[in-house]
Structure 1
């Protein structure tokens, strides 16, 4: 059990910025004598990370910033921390729950004191994110004033952070950053994913793609954040590069670790099974079960005991006798069915940690795995399926439909047992009607091209490698939401017109209603553009363009699963009326983004529209821009928002 140490400064600052903040001297004095383990140093070195303190010594000009810190001691004996920078001395709202009789008689228009927030896991943009192509391809122009958002960012690393944004439409600070909770001492975490939805009593689990660290945050008293725990690479030796998380009813969480064991060779997991791995960032990945303090409850291999097809699942370097596609990325569970789905994306060090093209298109994985989770600490893979190729014939084999199965989404109603999966490089949606079946059947049910044509009917290139990311069913299983980074013109060749950067909604109600025997199956070339021909195929409900002039576009999103009642308190809802989407992938893969976070309204019939009242506090335009000079923690410049969650603090949530 980790020993948790807290320090609260109770300090209010009212000063101007004095430059980019990277070191808190007082904190470093406490930890300077503590030595990280050798394996931590190796993992951090691979990610390009260095150890510095959290920046807490400055505040926004003419704005009071309340600074507070919490610490935990890691398994290496070193202190790790989160530092809050609450703007204007704002504090978590105190809302007293009314009695049952008072709640029953409350007027429908009664005002409540609680707020809802968007919590965004964001990385610092610095010199390491600048590539030679950024400078080579910079547009020629006469500019007498050096621009703020430079083509080549030269800043040194600064702390990564959780941004807490007011997401209450009636609030005077709607869309404003009210806190930045910086983490330390690790920088260059490359903040990646959290869980998909937040429920009361949950902690937030947030992974660092490059540091292989998982942070556990307590957000029950938002806008203040505290650190509940941290998991280091030496705590999860059977896997590396954490990707996504799914919280369970007991508030513990499963995590996908996409990369192989920290050290090459055989590794014995918590269940006694042994697999041979080719090392950090390689294969096979694993499933980790965490408690609410980040303690590892179990590690389970994602790979089978027997080899998979080496032609379909090559590894670099090869793993003798145990070829595998087990590089789990997306994860969603149905505890009521005792099943969980993970989707295999890629052998990560050949995709994520290397800015050049992969050596083999088959390193983009075509597989989905279904797990039996009846024993939480002993989950077991009961099905692994190579998803079928579709009707398109691509010039680049890495763009075939089944390449790069990044995300999956389960259905939600008790009577529904299906799940969806999407391919980032293939640009399609797959569906299996029953994940409890002994041999689940997966089929292609939608091609992104049919959504692209809504924005551009004259599109002449399909969805090959259009960058599909976040995919999520709504709680009623009526709609499926999907974020697509898009493809810039000229990406495939000089004649490529590109693919729109968008978030779209599909009506999946007829497909779900078909039960275990759906007719939909996109297997002819005309269905790529027209959509599936069977009557139960998904149909496009709405497409919202999110333009982005960079190499990236909308990669991630989340649903607002809360509603405010007449008593002023919030509760969870199945009626989704808002989404949030962020435009950022991973800069060092060559796919960046404009670093904007947009709010989307969901109207009747699944109609999507940008919330034009959710505006950047500096520019005054819709969507919150993470490219800015100043943050509450200092003059740290641009940040990279990868994932987000709607959260309501406990005091305001039933």
Structure 2
């Protein structure tokens, strides 16, 4: 277990209308102040579709560890700023704060040395600041990176996507940008999946920028209720940041009026608010998992309790024509055996992520729910009518850690879900973001499942969590996933009045191994993962802003890598609550997306 001190949080209520003001973030060049001695500053600039210049500015610190090939962790982070006067140190500010110079600090991509044994292991070797947009709420990048690929990174509230060239790390170059005006039919970019041609798909959680009808690239029209609303979309981006297609996530006809509520209600009802995106190019399939009508939850004190605003649907597309995804099915997750809980926390609510198998012999698809805290499975992504079965409740992992009761899957905050490339193991992060419990009882975690027997069961798996005992003990059927490791990550405090404890939200698998030839090679095996403790502060679910490294051994489970230390505090995990960065004295930052990357020349 690793438990971190939880800082005091002040109460802030943020209305959903704040999104509009964030879209109009000041287009100013940030004066960052003095960075570290010897820092090398390199800027690259591109023109946006609006004719304006956008940039990334590197602040590369000297590498005093000698010549060696490095592995890196990229962390996509939003600026929080210096603690406000009179706040309890080291308290977090939930609104924009100034840097030492008085300017609004920039968002940035942190480049962290992830090379085990390196003298600079865990040190931030570059902060690649982006501009002129500020306070954009950096969110996700792609799930996994392969040699030669660009990195795609979105800003939720700025409704903007950046395309980075990371071929010569620690230096980062900007090769393209997709602005809000380039995606009029969708808003709130979420996650990305990069295809073999180097281009990417992106899930857009929210509705059109302007309420009303919107025409997509294939000529279809859907009516939406506006920014951050419904329905969302899937876009296709090229390596220059050009949007080659916008595709509706919603069906043309009303989906399920009784299941798919929105605010305001759409005449043609839809649950299309896609978050997770996964692709199998060999099968020509793309999968989106629907999360929630997001703008309703930007106020931590929202009174909205309608459970149907938290989606329980999964969408499968045919992508034989890469620029014209075709929606094939919309399926709904079933509820589970848990009793005596709020309907909004039923097992099927808030489908944040899905995870596709990779091996040619497998076609299985998993989905996990943030409010429900469980994992579902359907054996064939090619099925015209997917049938879902609950196969794991995170209550089982909480019990393994000795945290159940009171903690359970109910409103657990289950988040990142990832299958190792060999299809043997699956990782899940859980934030532990249940406001019903105080800090002393609340906790997040990372756990890992062995899914080999389930995948071997073929088209008719027997595993099904449908009894009270299986909630805490795992599935009784022999093909159910086996819990082989769980690591408690206590994290910090988020939410108004400091009422929400936070552990890890996002993560990334390390699929690189250093060969005898001295070069890195991609592998289908994973021996460590990196996680980030931050969600969205405007939603009242913040975090302690730390990035942790966890080793994985199938025989022994999960172990915190205590050598991955913060260069300032000397404690395990890299802390983003610090005053000084390579780009200056600009204060705290909020890391969300993380990704393992190696320079192209160092991969064979």
TM norm. shorter chain > 0.5:
yes
Say whether residues 1:358 and 2:304 are aligned partners.
yes
Contact residue 487 and residue 498 of structure 1 kept, 8 A: no
Alpha carbons of 1:70 and 1:258: their partners in 2 closer, same or farther (altered >3 Å)? same
What is the aligned-residue RMSD (CA, Å)?
2.2
Structure 2, unaligned runs of 5 or more: 1-17, 99-103, 495-501
**Which of 134, 149, 153 is 1:187 aligned to?**
134
Q: Which residue of 2 aligns with 1:615?
A: 565
Q: Which residue of 1 aligns with 2:25?
A: 49
**Which of 582, 600, 607 is 2:532 aligned to?**
582
Q: Which residue of 2 aligns with 1:8?
A: none
Contact residue 262 and residue 293 of structure 2 kept, 8 A: yes
Counterparts of 2:49 and 2:96, CA distance in 1: 34
Say whether residues 1:508 and 2:451 are aligned partners.
yes
Alpha carbons of 1:79 and 1:569: their partners in 2 closer, same or farther (altered >3 Å)? same
Counterparts of 2:236 and 2:404, CA distance in 1: 48
Contact residue 394 and residue 400 of structure 1 kept, 8 A: no
The structure 1 segments of at least 4 consecutive aligned residues displaced by more than 6 Å after TM superposition are 89-93, 151-154
Counterparts of 1:280 and 1:150, CA distance in 2: 27
Alignment of 1:164-183 (within 5 A): 164-183=111-130
Deviation string, structure 1 residues 154-201 (Cα, Å, up to 9, x no partner):
722310000000010121101000000000000011000000000011
Deviation string, structure 1 residues 81-122 (Cα, Å, up to 9, x no partner):
0000001278997xxxxxxxxxxxxxxxxxxx3111001100
Counterparts of 1:78 and 1:617, CA distance in 2: 37
Instruction: Give the 3-state SS of the residue equivalent to 1:550 in structure 2.
Output: strand
Say whether residues 1:537 and 2:480 are aligned partners.
yes
Counterparts of 1:233 and 1:304, CA distance in 2: 23
1:214 CA displacement: 0.4
Decide which structure has the larger Cα Rg and report it.
Answer: 1
Instruction: Give the 3-state SS of the residue equivalent to 2:308 in structure 1.
Output: helix
1:498 CA displacement: 4.5
- The two structures have a TM-score, normalised by structure 1, of 0.84
Deviation string, structure 1 residues 196-237 (Cα, Å, up to 9, x no partner):
000011111000011000011110010000101110110000
Alignment of 1:232-251 (within 5 A): 232-251=179-198
1:147 CA displacement: 3.0
Deviation string, structure 1 residues 420-479 (Cα, Å, up to 9, x no partner):
110000000001110001111111100000010011165245211110000001111111
Say whether residues 1:630 and 2:604 are aligned partners.
no
Structure 1, unaligned runs of 5 or more: 1-41, 94-112, 139-145
Counterparts of 1:578 and 1:397, CA distance in 2: 36
Contact residue 351 and residue 357 of structure 1 kept, 8 A: no
Counterparts of 1:568 and 1:644, CA distance in 2: 25
Instruction: Give the 3-state SS of the residue equivalent to 1:588 in structure 2.
Output: helix
1:547 CA displacement: 1.4
Counterparts of 1:210 and 1:486, CA distance in 2: 24
Say whether residues 1:75 and 2:49 are aligned partners.
yes
Alignment of 1:453-468 (within 5 A): 453-456=399-402, 458-468=404-414
- The two structures have a TM-score, normalised by structure 2, of 0.91
Q: Which residue of 1 aligns with 2:9?
A: none
Q: Which moved more, 1:370-379 or 1:353-362?
A: 353-362
Alpha carbons of 1:534 and 1:77: their partners in 2 closer, same or farther (altered >3 Å)? same
Contact residue 556 and residue 583 of structure 1 kept, 8 A: yes
Q: Which residue of 2 aligns with 1:85?
A: 59
Q: Which residue of 1 aligns with 2:418?
A: 472
Alignment of 1:169-568 (within 5 A): 169-320=116-267, 322-352=268-298, 356-456=302-402, 458-487=404-433, 491-492=435-436, 498-551=441-494, 552-568=502-518
Counterparts of 2:149 and 2:165, CA distance in 1: 8
Deviation string, structure 1 residues 220-279 (Cα, Å, up to 9, x no partner):
010000101110110000100000000001010000001001111111111111111111
Contact residue 596 and residue 626 of structure 1 kept, 8 A: yes
Counterparts of 2:123 and 2:426, CA distance in 1: 29
Alpha carbons of 1:153 and 1:317: their partners in 2 closer, same or farther (altered >3 Å)? closer
Counterparts of 2:24 and 2:504, CA distance in 1: 26
Deviation string, structure 1 residues 52-92 (Cα, Å, up to 9, x no partner):
214455212xx211001000010011100000000127899
Q: Which residue of 1 aligns with 2:89?
A: 147
